[in-house]
Amino acid sequence: MSALTTPGRAVRAIPRVVVMALLTLVVLGPIYWITVSSFKPRSELISTSPTLLPREWTLENFERLFATTKYPLFLSNSFVVAIGTTVVTLVVSIAAAYGLDRLRVPGAGKISGVVLLSYMIPGTLLIVPLYVTLAQLGLIDSHAGLVLVNVAFTAPFCTWLLRGFILAIPIEIDEAAALDGAGPLRTMFQIVLPLLLPGVATVAVYSFVFSWTEFVFASQFIMSDGLDTLPVGLKAIIGQYTVDWGLVTSATLFTLLPTVLLFLAVGRFFVGGLIAGATK
């Protein structure tokens, strides 16, 4: 019986396998093309007969990228903004999520809904009021201002996500800690936070990737070339009249690298965390 049903299952699985193969090709195809192109010499990059693998492997594009452009400066600027955004978002969202659930704030459920609703407002609608606010604070053309704006957009979703994790932690743990004399801060840092680490990893990955790839606010609120982040810097590398594809592909590959390494390190927490935080 099983011998008869096994071929039938294999046939029924063919459409699913084909769809998964096409999806994988669509997602990984551009990354593969950028990777192999970054190792091709210029003559091969502009050839009318593209090749799947370089005929001649070269590191010339990477050498020119770091020696003749401001890419290292853009890279360091992006690290400053991304790490700053991640740290501030973690502090704000952990405190907000813990306060909403554990400190018995009246209307905590409705406040949580409003917080999530604010995340859905398109950022482009807020460029003018944000610009005016940052100008009044003297934070235009500064990484601190850009970090503040990024946190304003990452913190609502992260707070909502972390609240789901905190709801899954039994309140009896807090009550037991209170009987032992622990206050709210000690309970949060020593009892709740260690149990919250998968959620913290999820929030950290989300905040880092958001700020690493953010372009709209970085292009509007940063005026000096020396303060540009990678998304804006890559636009400058492309050039106004000509495109140096060797520089573009090598810069894109190095820009992808930190996020890929981050996902390899904590990706399992991110996927599981998104599902868990959304369903609890």
Its pTM stands at 0.82
Residue-wise pLDDT for 155-185, tens only, equals: 988 888 888 888 888 888 888 888 887 787 8
Residue-wise pLDDT for 178-233, tens only, equals: 888 778 788 888 888 888 888 888 889 889 999 998 998 998 899 888 899 998 88
Residue-wise pLDDT for 8-47, tens only, equals: 777 778 888 899 999 989 988 999 999 999 999 888 888 8
Q: What angle do CA 126, 161, 76 make, to 5 degrees?
A: 60
Secondary structure of residue 126 in the 3-state scheme: helix
Cα dihedral sign, 268-269-273-274: negative
- Identify the CATH homologous superfamily for domain 62-278: MetI-like (1.10.3720.10)
pLDDT of residue 87: 96
Residue-wise pLDDT for 39-65, tens only, equals: 998 888 888 888 888 888 999 999 998
In the chain, alpha helices (H): 2-38, 42-45, 60-68, 71-102, 108-119, 127-137, 143-167, 171-179, 184-186, 193-195, 197-213, 216-221, 230-238, 245-279
Task: Write the Ramachandran bin of 169: left for phi over 0, alpha for psi from -120 to 50, otherwise beta.
Answer: beta
Domain boundaries, the chain: 7-60, 62-278
Let me know: does 266 contact 65? Beta carbons within 8 Å.
Answer: no
Measured CA to CA, the distance from residue 59 to residue 70 in angstroms comes to 18
